[in-house]
Amino acid sequence: MSDRTLALAAGALTVLGIGIAGYLTWVHYAELSPVCVGGGGGCERVQNSEYAELAGVPVAVIGLLGYLAIAASFAIRGSNGRLAGAFLGLVGAGFSAYLTYLELFVIDAICQWCVANFAVITALAVVLFVRAAR
């Protein structure tokens, strides 16, 4: 796979991630319930849980800032930018994995948006890590 393909994939996944995290940030501050396919209160339950904030900051905001930081790393030329992107991707994927664990085994509810975010950040971390390894 060419570097250009990897860069395009990373860009597309970052835009997707910013969309998801941006939407969840918006519904948080607008005090709305996220639209969930097939209904169900999973998203609300997750959003209202005590784990929806980290040190008082909504995790959606943290996710949005993370994606924006990854986007900013694309502007850094050379290996430093790639290493920074890979680092941010790994942190995002790791923390998202923890939040998914909480949904499954602690909160006992699944938010489709969070699962989608987990898939996006995991794929993004892989792409960014492969780019950095080249």
Partner 1 sequence: MNPARRNQLLAIAGFALIIVVALIVISQSGGDDDGGGGSGAGGLSLAGIEQRGNALGDPDAPLTMVEFADLQCPFCAEFATGGALAGIVDEYVRAGDLRIEFEPLTFIGPDSVRAARVAVAAGEQGRLWDFVDLFYENQGPENSGYADDEFITRLLERIEGLDVDRVLADREEGSVTRALEQAARRAEDAGIDSTPSFLLGPTGGELEPLAVDSLDFGAFEGPIEDALAAANG
Span near partner 1 by CB under 8 A; candidates 6-14, 18-26, 68-76, 125-133: 125-133
Is the sign of the CA dihedral 35, 37, 38, 42 positive or negative? negative
Tell whether residue 81 is a contact of partner 1 (CB under 8 A): no
Residues 6 or more apart from 132 whose CB is under 8 A from it? 79, 82, 83, 85, 86
The Cα 69–Cα 80 span in angstroms is 14
What span, in angstroms and rounded, lies between the C-alpha atoms of 89 and 130?
A: 11
Nearer Cβ to partner 1, position 74 or 95?
A: 95
Binding of residue 47 to partner 1 (CB under 8 A): yes
Options 91, 115, 118, 122; binder of partner 1; rule CB under 8 A: 91
**Under rule CB under 8 A, residue 90 binds partner 1:** yes
Check residue 5 for interaction with partner 1 (CB under 8 A): no
The verdict on 76 binding partner 1 (CB under 8 A) reads: no
Residue 124 CA: distances (Å) to CA of 67, 71, 118, 131, 134: 10, 11, 10, 11, 16
Binding site for partner 1 (CB under 8 A): 31, 33, 41, 44-45, 47-51, 53-56, 79, 83, 86-87, 90-91, 94-95, 98, 104-106, 108, 129, 132-133
